[in-house]
Every structure is written in structure tokens, then in C-alpha cells.
Amino acid sequence: MLKGKAFKFGDDISTDDIVPGRLAPLRSNLPELAKHVLEDLRPDFVSRLSPGDFLVAGKNFGLGSSREHAPLSLKMAGVGAVLAKSAARIFFRNAINVGLPLLICDTDAIDEGDELEVDLASGKVHNMTKGTQLASGRMAEVMLRILEEGGLVEYIKKYGDFELP
């Protein structure tokens, strides 16, 4: 069970918003890169984030580049999970591969600062502040398994190959 408060963002948050190209020199220094996530949109995001808090966004989250540094640095900055109405394909897969949970649900029902509880196994999102419950879309079985192992590296270390259910 994940617990934290919501940081609300809009639609179409791109990987250039999350980790802009100008920070490319920091890409081999992830702890430093993580201090800058989303700074062009919200300069105080990282400083206000407590470990486990949720990034709540609108549609098409993570569009753009394939840079896996985007979900990795969100995770390293302390984001517990991303909740969005929809997510770009490469970002979604990357997030799961690095062990950052990403749930698709109707985020209109969540406001900035709401306290949330997320149960990954059932995909249920409990909005404690509003006393409401949200269901999230089910992800492919292979993705769930990768997430359960904590990411693709751990999964491959364990199985040595892809195991389709």
C-alpha cells in the first residue's frame, strides 16, 4: 500500500518538461538530475515532495523522448507512483521497467494536496481527503510481473528471459 499526497499537473507533460535536454550532461549523474525534475513547470516541486508522494497528471503523460531518465529521476526524487488519465507508450513501459508504478485512472477526481492510498495489487486508489475510491486500468500481465520484481533488471536477473504468462 502506497501513501502520500497529490501533486497535480496538467495534460501532455513531456519528457522535456521532466528532464530537459539541456540537462543531458547530468544524465550519468542521476542523483543530481533528480534534483531538477519538472523544474521548468514547477521550480519548487522537488523541494516540496516527500518520499512516496504522488504525481497526478492529465492525459498523455510522458510524451516525447524515450529517455528513461525521466521515470528514473522521478523515482529517485521520491515520487511513489504516477497517476494519469493516459500515458505515452514509451514512458509507460520505461516507468514499469525502472519500478515506478504508473496507474491510469480518472484523475479529475483528485485535487492538489489530496491524501491518497494506492493499492497496486488491486489497482484501487483511495482518496482519503475526499473519502472516495477510484479504480485504475489493468496493465498487461508481463508488466505487472516486471513491476512485482521491482523492474526489468531484477526480473531478468531472476528469470534470465521473458516469461509470458
Partner 1 sequence: MGKTLAEKILSWNSGEDAQAGDIVIARVDLAFIQDTTGPLTVRQFRASGFQRVANPGRTVVFLDHAAPSPNRELANDHRLLRQFAHQVGAQLFEVGEGICHQLVAERFASPGEVVVGADSHSVTAGGLGAFATGMGSTDVAVAMALGKTWFRVPESFRVCLRGDFPRGVYAKDLILHLIGSIGADGATYRALEFTGETLSKMSISDRLTVANMVVEAGAKVGLFPSDEVTKGYLEEHGRGQGYRPLAADPDASYERTIEVDVAGLEPMIAKPHAVDNTAPVQELRGTKVHQVFIGTCTGGRLEDLAVAASILRGRRRHPDTRLIVGPASTSILIQAMNAGYLETLVEAGAGVVPPGCAACLGVHQGVLGDGETCVSTGNRNFRGRMGNPEAFIYLASPATAAATALAGEVADPRGFL
**Binding residues for partner 1 (CB under 8 A):** 12, 14, 16-17, 20-22, 24-29, 40, 59-60, 63-69, 71-72, 86, 88-90, 93-94, 97-98, 140-142, 151-153, 156-157, 161-162, 164
DSSP conformation letters of 48-66: HPPTT-EEEE-SSBTBS--
User: Which one, 128 or 153, has the nearer CB to partner 1?
Assistant: 153
Q: Whole-number minimum distance, CB 30 to partner 1, in Å? A: 9
Return the number of other C-beta atoms located less than 10 Å from residue 23's C-beta: 17
Q: Which is nearer to partner 1, 48 or 89 (CB)?
A: 89
Question: Residues 94, 81: contact at Cβ < 8 Å?
Answer: no
In whole angstroms, the minimum distance from the beta carbon of 34 to partner 1 comes to 14
DSSP for 87-137, please give it: B-HHHHHHHHHTT--EEE--GGG--TT-EEEEETTTTEEEETTTTEEEE-P
Measured distance CA(152)–CA(146) in Å, rounded? 6
- Residue 129 CB, shortest distance to partner 1, in Å, is 29
- Whichever of 128 and 140 has its CB closer to partner 1, that residue is 140
Min. distance of Cβ 41 from partner 1 in angstroms?
Answer: 8
Nearer to partner 1, 5 or 69 (CB): 69
- Least separation in angstroms between residue 99's CB and partner 1 is 10
Decide whether 79 or 116 has the Cβ nearer to partner 1: 79
Q: For the chain, what is the radius of gyration of the CA atoms?
A: 15
Beta strands at 124-127 and 132-135: parallel, antiparallel or unpaired? antiparallel
